[in-house]
Amino acid sequence: MNTREKLSIILLSIGIILALLPLTGSRSFTVKPQNLLSDALDEKSWVTVDQAARFVATEDSSVLLIDLRSSGEFNRFNIPGSVNIPYDRFIEIAPGIISGSGNMKFILYSNGDYDANNAYVIAKGLKLKNIYVMKGGLNEWFNTVMNSRFTGERISARENSLYENRKRAGTMFTEINSLPDSLKRKYYEAKHVAAKKLDGGCE
């Protein structure tokens, strides 16, 4: 997809979002559309799957991944350390978790880019900070991380670092998603408690 096509899709998405958002006095969508477009196209708003894999592999507590898929999809499999905020409830739930969270980084992802880009526009329109999109979503995660293979006779230090991060993150992905449902629920509940603490919901 070329830049013009991406621009058209993002502009259309912004228009739809502005028309449909159930905004209230406490959730004012005040950022100008042209500024939202500029933000959405800025590569600084993206995180690569390799960067996300490093956060997962090191269990970086300053980063929270937000899975925008349905709860059913999330329960089948997700990136370790993620919390689930379905896209259709993003405006309802996300501001309470993200607002006032200091320097915490929030990385949005879905199967591809569409829902994550739209959620990013919503978040920026609500003036939420430290929001990023994992470029390519889970489709790219599987292509790059889960299907990572080393081929050849020599490997550079950078390539080795990337491979080790991918291998570690991929192993964690497989192990967490292979747990019995009861253990997975406990793991997810612990993540939700951590997210609620960001919202001031727990002491």
Handedness of CA 132, 136, 139, 142 (dihedral sign): negative
Q: Give the tens place of pLDDT for each residue, 5-64.
A: 665 666 566 656 655 555 554 455 555 655 666 666 667 889 999 999 999 999 898 999
Q: Do the bridges between strand 63-67 and strand 82-84 make them parallel or antiparallel, or are there none, so unpaired?
A: parallel
Residue 169 CB neighbour total at 10 angstroms: 27
Q: For position 145, what pLDDT does the model report?
A: 95
Regions of the chain where pLDDT drops below 50: 25-26, 201-203
**In this structure, what token pair is assigned to residue 172?**
């964690």
Q: For position 161, what pLDDT does the model report?
A: 86
As assigned by CATH, the class of the 3-140+153-198 domain is alpha beta
Q: For position 38, what pLDDT does the model report?
A: 64
Q: For position 134, what pLDDT does the model report?
A: 97
Q: Do the bridges between strand 105-109 and strand 131-134 make them parallel or antiparallel, or are there none, so unpaired?
A: parallel
**In which order are the strands placed within the sheet that holds 82-84?**
46-47, 131-134, 105-109, 63-67, 82-84
Rounded to an integer, what distance in angstroms lies between the CA atom of residue 178 and that of residue 105?
27
Q: Do the bridges between strand 82-84 and strand 131-134 make them parallel or antiparallel, or are there none, so unpaired?
A: unpaired
Q: For position 6, what pLDDT does the model report?
A: 60
Q: For position 124, what pLDDT does the model report?
A: 84
Sequence spans of domains, the chain: 3-140+153-198
Q: For position 18, what pLDDT does the model report?
A: 56
